[in-house]
Structure 1
Amino acid sequence: MKKDICAYTYEQLQAEIQAMGERGFRAKQIYEWLHVRLAEDFSEMTNLSRELKYRLSEQYEILPVVMLEKQESRLDGTCKFLFRLHDGNVVESVWMRYHYGNSVCISSQVGCRMGCRFCASGIGGLARGLSPSEMLGQVYRLQRIMGERVSNVVVMGTGEPLDNYDSLLTFLRILTGEKGLHISQRNVTVSTCGIVPKMYELAKEHLQITLALSLHGATQEKRKQLMPVANAYELEEVLTACDAYFRETGRRITFEYSLIRGVNDTEEDLRELIRILGSRNCHLNLIPVNSVKEYGLKQPDRKNAQNFKNKLEKYGINVTLRRELGADIDGACGQLRRSYVRTRTEEAEL
């Protein structure tokens, strides 16, 4: 079986190339082709000898990330992509343009086992985690397709990143390393629904990334209604882990809160949010929920969402109401992949 060459850190690749009997500078050349020039085939590596390219192709592979579908919003230019992996599984990624640069949201798993009640990612469960190269491949493929540099990366697509912890760490080290794209760690956000032990592990890495907690409910009872992971970890445990992350890294937590009409946007929810976040150095991101027909949940109207935000601000909470992106396409996490998988299943049954 060939080895996945894009999953190696620079130091690991050095060891591999030296084991082949090649001089050390070859590792630097190959690494640059893979992670700076974004080569998709060894034949593109023009400063390597024909013999070395052949030997590399015999022992290693660059796993393909192939675009199957692209949807572009007419409202804001947001692009959503469906990619096929080497084993036929599919994942989705999003390209978003902001005034500060291009941001991409990538998947960390094929499917998800967290089962949040408002998210299409978990419908059908978890197939497998992505390798570091498959996570990088989404970023690299998007940059090649769009012809522009990525400045911000959000690991907030399909899957729970901390449920794929080792691959996530390798991905982060390659993505932000000075010999690769060298995207600033401060421009990387990793989302979690609150896997407490892994939150403590990540804090000990002392990375400068932003940790985003999927909160979505301001009480333990409300979280349990929306997020099965709350059955494993109490809200107070999760918040304590958030505090530990802030102490270890100096990086404030972002709390993600999907606003669902009549579910978590009441006056009581407002009071509870103020109670748990009012004394914390954090940022609250309010996200009007995208409609997922399997769940039947609805977003509040814009006026009510704005009022919710304004009341939080009066109590000193740093809060934003996320601008809706991709509202006219399959914008929510997991929707595009879910549509593709459902169509393929229906075709197979005919």
Structure 2
Amino acid sequence: MNNQLIKLSVDELTTLMETWGFPRFRAKQVYEWIHKHHCPSVDAMTNVPRAVRDKLAQAFPSQGLSVFDRQISADGTRKYVLRLEDGLLVETVGMPVFKESGLLSRLTVCVSSQVGCPMACSFCATGKEGLGRNLSASEIIQQVSLVQKDFDARVSNVVVMGQGEPFLNYEEVIDALKLMNASDNLNIGARHITISTCGLIDGIHRLSLEHEQFTLAVSLHSAVQETRDQLMPRVSQQPLPLLKKALESYIEKTRRRVSLEYLLIQKVNDSEADLQALIRFCSGLLCHVNLLPMNAVEGAPYQPSSMQTIGHWTNELERHSIEVSMRKSRGSDIAGACGQLKNKLVSRETSHNIQVM
């Protein structure tokens, strides 16, 4: 769906229909097709006359996406590599949670905000490919609606934790999330929508001023400056003391808890000194620490921390009254880490093309 078209209100569509000489009620039909039915293109608007569809297609060229590859994990996770209108590829993940009865309890979609990522985090497969371009609000929303249709179930949660740094594409990401939150669109509660950032301070300040109560997650990965700079070189100019001040200001303005994402990497950021630094960073913050299991990334020298280390960290954080959880690894059997599946497919295609030539 075209990005400009998806952002038009009913009133704006009504004015457009009148300008083109069509009845006013066509605006509501078009609006419902876009926001209620999430149709991929104007051709899918079956009860809208061909003349209206032709005018829409001419004024708002299609910006759709299609499934390039789809894999299903043993745990039910579905990972998609999607081809955009310009041929670029991006990843999306659908993560279901089931009740004991086997019925679906929750469906979370992890969306990408950029093609690739400019942040170059050393543990991330996406960081190795660099930035392609920003995604439009429409391309972000279409990721969610595609997963919803594939599962034939309502999406309950969205996390902007896929490829890209969302605060480097702030306007389009926020526009997309506001549309997802709207009652006449996907109607996903704001508190069930999470934006994950590497810790860009300007973006944190901007988010604190938004009316919607979106959840903020910060990829911390170390509370020791030297170690964090090694792992996340592109945020070295945003030091930890300033990041903590930004989070304190965010919490004061919004009264909302912040999640701190921490990937435990053996002999890199999992020592006792690292743990004590994290405890000091969390002191005075309304926060929740999310310890992450590490997926092996081809070409990266890192190994996951032991279960003994994870248990010790969990116990110590709880002993200091810091909320902590250990995220369960999802989709590890289908290249679950961000960027892995896409990079494997691109590498396979490139290799095949070389052999053919």
TM-score (norm 2): 0.92
Residue 82, structure 1, aligned to residue 81, structure 2: yes
1:139-150 matches, within 5 Å, as 139-150=144-155
- Give the residue type in structure 1 aligned to 2:161: M
Post-superposition offset of 1:207: 2.2
CA contact (8 A) 2:2 2:138 kept: no
Partner of 1:183: 188
SS of equivalent to 2:68? strand
- Give the residue type in structure 2 aligned to 1:27: A
For the structure 1 residues 138 and 274, does the alpha-carbon distance in structure 2 shift closer, same or farther, using more than 3 Å as the test?
same
Worse-superposed segment, 23-32 or 157-166:
23-32
Alignment deviations for residues 191-239 of structure 1 (CA, whole Å, 9 cap, x no partner): 0001111211121123200010000011211210110133221111111
Partner of 2:242: 237
Partner of 1:91: 90
Match of 1:291 among 275, 296, 314: 296
Post-superposition offset of 1:7: 3.8
For the structure 1 residues 111 and 151, does the alpha-carbon distance in structure 2 shift closer, same or farther, using more than 3 Å as the test?
same
CA contact (8 A) 1:5 1:62 kept: no
Post-superposition offset of 1:143: 1.0
CA contact (8 A) 2:5 2:60 kept: no
Partner of 2:69: 69
Cα distance in 1 for partners of 2:269, 2:186 equals 40
Partner of 2:29: 29
Cα distance in 1 for partners of 2:19, 2:265 equals 56
Match of 1:255 among 243, 253, 260: 260
SS of equivalent to 1:70? strand
Cα distance in 2 for partners of 1:22, 1:180 equals 24
Post-superposition offset of 1:340: 1.8
Partner of 1:108: 113
Q: Give the share of equivalent positions with the same residue, in percent.
A: 40
Cα distance in 2 for partners of 1:77, 1:303 equals 28
Post-superposition offset of 1:13: 4.4
Gaps of 5+ in 2: 99-104
Post-superposition offset of 1:24: 4.5
Cα distance in 2 for partners of 1:6, 1:189 equals 25
Cα distance in 2 for partners of 1:150, 1:281 equals 28
CA contact (8 A) 1:112 1:122 kept: yes
TM-score (norm 1): 0.94
Post-superposition offset of 1:27: 2.7
SS of equivalent to 2:138? helix
SS of equivalent to 1:28? helix
Partner of 1:332: 337
For the structure 1 residues 36 and 70, does the alpha-carbon distance in structure 2 shift closer, same or farther, using more than 3 Å as the test?
same
Post-superposition offset of 1:122: 1.1
Match of 1:341 among 324, 338, 346: 346
Cα distance in 2 for partners of 1:21, 1:283 equals 55
Partner of 2:135: 130
- Give the residue type in structure 2 aligned to 1:29: Q
Root mean square deviation, CA, Å: 1.8
Cα distance in 2 for partners of 1:16, 1:249 equals 38
Match of 2:178 among 170, 173, 184: 173
Cα distance in 2 for partners of 1:269, 1:323 equals 22
The 4+ residue runs of structure 1 with deviation greater than 6 A are: none
CA contact (8 A) 1:111 1:122 kept: yes
SS of equivalent to 2:26? helix
CA contact (8 A) 2:158 2:194 kept: yes
SS of equivalent to 1:181? coil
Partner of 1:40: 40
Post-superposition offset of 1:25: 3.7
Post-superposition offset of 1:338: 1.2
CA contact (8 A) 1:7 1:131 kept: no
SS of equivalent to 1:274? helix
SS of equivalent to 1:328? helix
- Count how many residue pairs are aligned between Structure 1 and Structure 2: 348
Partner of 2:7: 8
